[in-house]
Amino acid sequence: MPPISESRKRILVTGGAGFLGSHLIDRLLDQGHEVICVDNLFSSTKRNIDHLHANPRFEFLRHDVCFPLYVEVDEIYNLACPASPVHYQHDPIQTLKTSVHGAINILGLAKRLRCKVLQASTSEVYGDPDIHPQTEDYWGNVNPIGLRSCYDEGKRAAETLFFDYNRQHGLETKVARIFNTYGPRMHRQDGRVVSNFIVQALQGHPITIYGDGSQTRSFCYVDDLIEGLMKLMGTPGEVIGPINIGNTREFSMLELASLVIQVTGSRSEIRHLPLPSDDPRQRQPDITKARTILGWEAKTQLRGGIERTVEYFKSLLINEA
């Protein structure tokens, strides 16, 4: 099916009402494309896309990707899957189905349409890594039967499907491995460290750090991440990936907590709790491929991104009061 025009495409974004999906849709609409947003609203919210409903080039479909979908589009971004431990451990079987059955259904749709399709994979495919930073050729250190396995192994299986559809059917597929991302529209109860710390600080509650706080993460601001996904989608057909997309600056949990307290002006104290099962000690991407192939790297400094995210949560908490 040919595009609507040379410059405008009809693009499907699954998981489009989520944190990342809604920002991606904003960017696609800004470029003049038509967008179909598909989401079952399990871990997302209509609030993230309320500002889009008046746009004639935007359409929302409430649908679960575990079931086949029949639409006509030029490109597909597959972002459908709960991505925080709180959400994906709530119903681990459904999480695994979303990754695997969802990938099969979306790939089947792309095969019928002969259109390009991008999989939003994750740094969790590396598990608790034995090498640091993580390169794309590292196979990972994943517990296949742990509490996080429904997400980690589901995403690994989805990657396998994307590569097999490329090899067996010649489908143009792209795989992005997303590292920790933060920014406005994060779910306030998703259990992720940035949203946890900010909400706790704004409410004057103790900031909870699991373990001694020396474990590290690399935090990428959402605008930078979306730019990386779109650059990957725009690459020639021979570029499949996987390609790491994330910030290379590494921060400990204690450093992040200290920054959040400074930005919010909170008097919250830090409380240490036991480390969860299979929680990685380190997580930092090697983005050599992103730099050389995509010409991409994260630009937003952590403090600036945290300030913008704090303003979002301030507004959210006021509206909920």
Please state, as a whole number, how many other Cβ atoms lie within 10 Å of the Cβ of residue 7: 9
At residue 2 the predicted structure's pLDDT band, cuts being 50, 70 and 90, is very low
Which run of H or E residues covers position 261? helix 253-264
Q: Is pLDDT at 90 greater than 70 in this prediction?
A: yes
Return the CA Rg of the chain. 19
**DSSP assignment letter at 135:** P
Q: d(Cα 151, Cα 290) in Å, to the nearest integer? A: 24
Helix, strand or coil, per DSSP, at residue 152: helix
Asked if pLDDT for residue 4 goes beyond 60, the answer is no
Point out the residues that are catalytic. 151
The yes-or-no verdict on residue 276 having pLDDT over 80 is: no
Burial (CB count within 10 angstroms: exposed 0-12, middle 13-18, buried 19+), residue 204: exposed
pLDDT at 39: 97
pLDDT digits (tens, 9 = 90+) for 208-236: 998 888 888 899 999 999 999 999 999 99
Is residue 1 pLDDT above 50, yes or no?
Answer: no
According to the model, what pLDDT value does residue 292 have? 98
Residue 210 pairs in a beta bridge with 273
- pLDDT-above-90 percentage for the chain: 77
Render pLDDT for 158-184 as a digit per residue (tens, 0 to 9): 999 999 999 999 999 999 999 999 999
pLDDT digits 0-9 by tens, 20-54? 999 999 999 999 999 999 999 988 899 999 999 99
First-to-final CA distance of the chain? 49
Higher per-residue pLDDT: 58 or 130: 58
Per-chain mean pLDDT for the chain = 92
